[in-house]
Amino acid sequence: MGLHMLVYAFLIFYPLFLIWRWIDGKRDQECYILDYECYKPTDDRKLDTEFSGEIIKRSKNLGLNEYKFLLKAIVSSGIGEQTYGPRMIFAGREENPTYEDGILEMEEFFQESIQKLLSRTGISPQEIDALVVNVSMLSAVPSLSARIINHYKMREDIKVFNLTGMGCSASLISVNIAQNLFKTYKNSYTLVITSESLSPNWYAGNNRSMILANCLFRSGGCAILLTNKRALKHKAMFKLKCLVRTHHGARDDSYDCCLQKEDEQGRVGFHLGKNLPKAATRAFVDNLRVISPKILPVRELLRFLIVSFIKKWSSQIRSSSSSKGGEDRAVINFKTGVDHFCIHTGGKAVIDGIGVNLDLTEYDLEPARMTLHRFGNTSACSLWYVLAYMEAKKRLKKGDRILMISFGAGFKCNSCLWEVVRDLDGSNVWKDCINDYPPKTLTNPFMEKYGWINNEDESTFAVPS
């Protein structure tokens, strides 16, 4: 009788034990942001209107048509006068950068931001279990990750990932690596470092598709400390709910629209093709198809399906009766599952396009617009400046959900959803200027200072001294 009871108890409780172990294991696989630190370069690296004009005038390869193109691009870019550039520009060496220029630019960021982040969280460098570094356009030997490990004397068994060439969407790829590590390693810390090295990548030619990058990209960086430690979940800032990556590299037009290459004179630059908006939209739509069911309530998905069917049916009836009229498409309401939108600051057109596609208000787009104006397009780390703006404005409350959307060369669209774990009202990179935003106008003073270029004649034009 006793043996039978033991067998029955085993049959009943062992499955429950397995279920409990599975649930308990899942809890250890959560991904939290403990803290993050956006980098603010020193004031002597600010690119105001007058100095930007001086940089353009220094180039011997630009003519009147290129001047007009750059004027139009800068005025419509949405970028203000407080952004930062690499030191070699201020030294007048942008056409002849050295290897050390790129290393110096990165080490300034590494040493300040990582130190501040670790000091604020009370975590020592020896406690870091994994390091993920993404800097797309600087490949150093030893690697940039090795330089960080050497500077901070991290452990010998640290897991290291050094990403290059991943473009503006690389920081979410780095987060995805951390997320996957947490599925295997319990009670871990992962340090993600995201930035871009502009020093060795200035384009000195006159190809319009390549000089555009000089106008848009600015210096920046962010260090992010992630963990899956259950004991720290109440101290964390954000919890990762889901992450989706879309890659259209198999499509030739998508692959070619955002490319580092040489121009006709052999000068290396970053080509931004005319088909970039189309490629971005296509990747964005495909990404949304995957992430929408993961983040939106069922009622909104059902409403969208029903409305889409009705509109399609109505359109077919109109077509059969030969009546004219524009296509009336259904729009999914992302605000039913998302409270804040953290959008990559790829440019004014990128922000406007996402706003139209997701039917967002100016309030929703404000963080991305202000980040573009204050810091410019800082490549993969731009998302974190947008997030910091929301935090500095005290918009982020416990339970809020934030959708991050990024684009990058390849062509890629990556997105993820974060949940705010606790009310956030701390100071960050915006603390010295947040009360000045949003400003009364985002109009760039370039037109006021250099608008006369539009009235010049090519046959008589001379670069002013």
Model pLDDT for residues 399-418, shown as the tens digit of each residue: 999 999 999 998 999 999 99
Q: Which is catalytic among the residues 61, 242, 247, 333?
A: 247
Active site (annotated) includes residue 247: yes
Active site (annotated) includes residue 340: yes
Q: Model-level pTM? A: 0.90
- Residue 105 near residue 197, CB atoms below 8 Å: yes
Instruction: Kindly state whether residue 193 falls inside one of the protein's structural domains.
Output: yes
- Residue 363 near residue 340, CB atoms below 8 Å: no
Instruction: Kindly state whether residue 7 falls inside one of the protein's structural domains.
Output: no
The yes-or-no verdict on residue 81 having pLDDT over 60 is yes
Three-state SS letters, 149-193: HHHHCCCCCCEEEEECCCHHHHHHHHHHHHHHHHCCCCCCEEEEE
Overall domain count for the chain: 1
Instruction: Kindly state whether residue 379 falls inside one of the protein's structural domains.
Output: yes
What does each C-alpha distance from 63 to 66, 67, 71, 273 come to in angstroms? 5, 6, 12, 21
The yes-or-no verdict on residue 13 having pLDDT over 70 is no
Whole domain around residue 295: which residue ranges? 29-308+332-455
Instruction: Kindly state whether residue 183 falls inside one of the protein's structural domains.
Output: yes
Q: What is the pLDDT of residue 7?
A: 63
| Higher pLDDT pick, 348 / 312 | 348
Please give the Cα distance from 402 to 298 (Å, whole number). Answer: 19
Q: Which is catalytic among the residues 373, 381, 414, 444?
A: 373
Q: Which is catalytic among the residues 31, 228, 257, 344?
A: 344
The yes-or-no verdict on residue 15 having pLDDT over 90 is no
Mind listing the pLDDT tens digit for each residue in 433-447? 999 999 988 887 888
Going by pLDDT thresholds of 50, 70 and 90, the confidence category of residue 212 is: confident
Active site (annotated) includes residue 373: yes
Lowest mean pLDDT among 158-167, 186-195, 329-338: 329-338
Report the candidate in 45, 49, 59 with the shortest Cα–Cα distance to residue 96.
59
Q: Which is catalytic among the residues 134, 176, 214, 377?
A: 377
The yes-or-no verdict on residue 323 having pLDDT over 90 is no
Instruction: Kindly state whether residue 272 falls inside one of the protein's structural domains.
Output: yes
Q: Which is catalytic among the residues 31, 38, 134, 168?
A: 168
Q: What's the whole-number mean pLDDT along residues 338-343?
A: 97
Instruction: Kindly state whether residue 369 falls inside one of the protein's structural domains.
Output: yes
Q: What does the mean pLDDT of the chain come to?
A: 89
Instruction: Kindly state whether residue 293 falls inside one of the protein's structural domains.
Output: yes
Q: What is the pLDDT of residue 462?
A: 75
Instruction: Kindly state whether residue 463 falls inside one of the protein's structural domains.
Output: no
Going by pLDDT thresholds of 50, 70 and 90, the confidence category of residue 184 is: very high
Mind listing the pLDDT tens digit for each residue in 353-395? 999 989 999 999 999 999 999 999 999 999 999 999 999 999 9
Report residue 47: phi and psi, to 5°: -105, 90
Active site (annotated) includes residue 248: no
What does each C-alpha distance from 417 to 86, 240, 376 come to in angstroms? 32, 6, 24
Q: What is the CATH number of the domain that holds 194?
A: 3.40.47.10
Q: What is the pLDDT of residue 299?
A: 93
